[in-house]
């Protein structure tokens, strides 16, 4: 096989992997939008907050240490212990559930019945508030995320050597085997499990069915005894969990730092393409965007346009979809009759 073809396949595969990572972020948006009609601008910051909390727990960091030290003249920074990753993940999930409760109790409960734009604005405020709290709680420095569930069993880094060596012989001397990041493979597996779990939860559990009922019609759901309050806390908790997973995968690549919140930018074209209300849409949208932008950069962007076309292409593709299919590939077409 020609090297050009093999490298195109490599770019395609890496596009799929990148798409999974985009989809992980987009999933959180979809969950909340589907159940409450809120476009959660804070989803990226939630990923940042979750990842920072996880690393903080792992390292035994004292939350709000700077504030405590400045107020009481102390010099505390850590508790002096390191938590096992599994315990730290469990505690972080609890924090995200508490956050979901607080968001519902102190923000959205007071905004029931408001226009969508008001709810959207509230999430912008929430994003800035949460970013500030994360800064105050855990500090601004870059943190290394090492997630290990057993001795020697940690999140992998680096290209997958097995794939590289197994495919090396496919091409000539100028072909070095397919490069696939091991972390991306783990992210893809995690995303598959996550989507399957979310779909199963929505289809086969009482709470899942209630969630779908609320998503379909708030008033009707209320009339049959579904607690809107509980469902919204549930949905924000699930979005918080998805944010934690996205934060782990992205944080493992770049370290946990404040720019992590910007990963939300990668989710927007995915949502526009896949639809705001579809979990499979987020996955398919992510894959299309991931593959599309990588192939475009490889075949056209880098050789003819000077490179750095990925962001541009993702939004262009989303725009084209908006023109021909405004609800996205899998979104619900809402027809309002007068």
| Residues that bind another protein in the complex, under the rule CB under 8 A | 7, 10-11, 14, 17-18, 66, 69, 77, 131-132, 135, 140-142, 144, 157-159, 176, 179, 181, 250, 253-255, 257-263, 266, 294, 297-298, 302, 306-308, 310-311
Least distance to another protein, CB of residue 241, Å: 21
Is the Cβ–Cβ distance between 185 and 213 less than 8 Å? no
Question: And the tokens for 256?
Answer: 């946990």
Question: And the tokens for 17?
Answer: 């992997």
CA distance 285 to 233: 26
Closest to another protein by CB, 86 or 144: 144
Cα angle 287, 196, 324 (rounded to 5 degrees) comes to: 40
Is the Cβ–Cβ distance between 244 and 47 less than 8 Å? yes
Closest to another protein by CB, 156 or 280: 156
Least distance to another protein, CB of residue 20, Å: 12
Is the Cβ–Cβ distance between 266 and 43 less than 8 Å? no
CA distance 177 to 167: 5
The residues with which 224 forms a beta bridge, in sequence order, are none
Least distance to another protein, CB of residue 52, Å: 12
The DSSP output letter for 168 is: G
Closest to another protein by CB, 183 or 211: 183
Closest to another protein by CB, 203 or 254: 254
Least distance to another protein, CB of residue 224, Å: 44
Least distance to another protein, CB of residue 181, Å: 6
Closest to another protein by CB, 141 or 336: 141
């Amino acid at each position: 096989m020609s090297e050009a073809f093999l490298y195109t396949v490599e770019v395609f595969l890496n596009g799929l992997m990148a798409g999974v990572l985009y989809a992980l972020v987009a999933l959180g948006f979809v969950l909340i939008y589907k159940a409450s009609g809120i476009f959660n601008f804070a989803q990226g910051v939630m990923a940042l907050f979750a990842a920072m909390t996880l690393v903080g727990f792992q390292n035994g960091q004292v939350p709000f240490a700077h504030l405590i030290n400045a107020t009481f003249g102390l010099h505390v920074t850590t508790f002096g212990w390191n938590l096992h990753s599994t315990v730290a993940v469990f505690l972080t999930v609890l924090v995200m559930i508490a956050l979901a409760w607080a968001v519902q109790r102190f923000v959205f409960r007071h905004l029931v019945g408001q226009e969508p734009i008001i709810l959207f604005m509230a999430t912008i405020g929430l994003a800035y508030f949460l970013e500030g709290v994360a800064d105050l709680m855990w500090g601004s420095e870059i943190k290394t995320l090492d997630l290990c569930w057993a001795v020697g069993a940690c999140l992998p880094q680096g290209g997958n050597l097995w794939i590289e060596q197994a495919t090396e012989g496919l091409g000539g001397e100028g072909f070095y085997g397919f490069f696939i990041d091991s972390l991306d493979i783990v992210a893809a597996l995690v995303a598959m499990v996550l989507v399957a779990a979310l779909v199963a939860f929505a289809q086969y559990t009482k709470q899942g069915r209630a969630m779908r009922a609320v998503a379909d019609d708030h008033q009707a759901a209320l009339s049959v005894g579904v607690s809107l309050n509980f469902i919204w806390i549930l949905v924000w908790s699930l979005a918080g969990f998805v944010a934690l997973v996205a934060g782990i995968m992205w944080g493992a690549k770049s370290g946990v730092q404040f720019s992590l919140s910007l990963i939300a930018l990668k989710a927007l074209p995915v949502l526009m393409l896949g639809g705001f209300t579809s979990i499979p849409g987020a996955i398919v949208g992510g894959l299309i965007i991931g593959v599309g932008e990588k192939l475009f950069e490889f075949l056209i962007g880098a050789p003819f346009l000077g490179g750095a076309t990925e962001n541009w292409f993702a939004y262009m593709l989303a725009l084209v979809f908006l023109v021909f299919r405004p609800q996205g590939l899998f979104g619900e077409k809402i027809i309002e009759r007068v």
